[in-house]
């Protein structure tokens, strides 16, 4: 009869298990550190990307607001001229200066309107990405910027509403459209460029308001004063 001998593995010392546990622990811990560092790198890269985009957005707005302020100052000067003109001048025979200021003050709008870009700002606020910017002053400035942009939008809406309710009906009733058709060659020329060219020339094309004799000068002056003092403010 055969006798089977069972092989027995030698019993490991406790230090062997300790080193195995230690190596396993270090592997898991290093993996955790690597993932932690990766997340921080992703956040840093994301913060850098947002900062660059935010800077670009602010740079574009800075140039736009500078142009809007310049045009707004021109518009405000035109409104002051018109207010004084309607007060005590002859509306039947309007001067060259009048029609230029009439266009700049009452008809030209877009060059003096500032529409801020806030795509990145909204992304920063809605996604919670503002936390990437650790500087407390920076966070406060972003909050103030958000309030300022809201105020600009409200002011723009106020101007639009006033224009629709008062300025546009006034222009529909009294504007001498034939003059603008003539200077723009029946719409083939860009009106602002045509006005600029006319202003710099020695030409003088007669301009006549429709129903000039029926214009209430005080009412027109009040309308222009409201535009100048309550709507037409620098952004």
- Please state the pTM of the whole predicted model: 0.70
- Report the alpha-carbon distance of residue 191 to residue 204 in Å, rounded: 16
Distance of CA 154 to the CA centre of its chain: 12
Helix axes of 119-126 and 14-88: crossing angle, nearest 10 degrees: 140
Per-residue pLDDT of the chain (235 residues; tens, 9 = 90+): 455 555 555 555 667 666 777 777 777 777 776 676 667 667 777 777 777 887 788 788 788 888 888 888 888 999 999 999 988 888 888 889 999 999 998 988 766 677 777 777 777 767 666 676 777 777 777 778 888 888 888 888 888 888 889 999 999 999 989 988 888 887 788 888 888 888 898 988 899 999 988 999 899 989 998 888 766 554 4
């Amino acid at each position: 009869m055969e006798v089977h001998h069972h092989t027995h593995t030698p019993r490991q010392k406790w230090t062997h298990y300790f080193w195995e546990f230690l190596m396993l622990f270090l592997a898991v811990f290093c993996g955790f550190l690597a993932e932690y560092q990766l997340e921080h790198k992703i956040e840093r890269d994301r913060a850098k990307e947002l900062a660059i985009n935010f800077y670009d957005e602010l740079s574009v707005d800075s140039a736009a607001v500078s142009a809007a302020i310049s045009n707004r100052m021109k518009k405000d000067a035109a409104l002051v001229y018109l207010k004084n003109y309607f007060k005590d001048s002859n509306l039947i025979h309007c001067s060259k200066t009048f029609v230029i200021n009439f266009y700049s003050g009452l008809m030209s709008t877009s060059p003096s309107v500032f529409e801020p870009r806030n795509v990145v700002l909204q992304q920063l606020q809605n996604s919670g990405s503002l936390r990437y910017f650790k500087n407390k002053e920076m966070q406060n400035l972003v909050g103030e910027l958000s309030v300022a942009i809201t105020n600009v939008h409200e002011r723009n809406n106020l101007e639009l509403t006033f224009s629709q309710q008062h300025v546009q009906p006034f222009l529909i009733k009294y504007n001498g459209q034939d003059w603008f058709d003539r200077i723009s060659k029946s719409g083939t020329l860009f009106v602002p460029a045509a006005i600029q060219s006319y202003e710099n020339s020695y030409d003088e094309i007669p301009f006549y308001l429709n129903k000039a004799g029926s214009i209430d000068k005080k009412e027109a002056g009040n309308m222009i004063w409201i535009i100048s003092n309550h709507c037409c403010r620098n952004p």
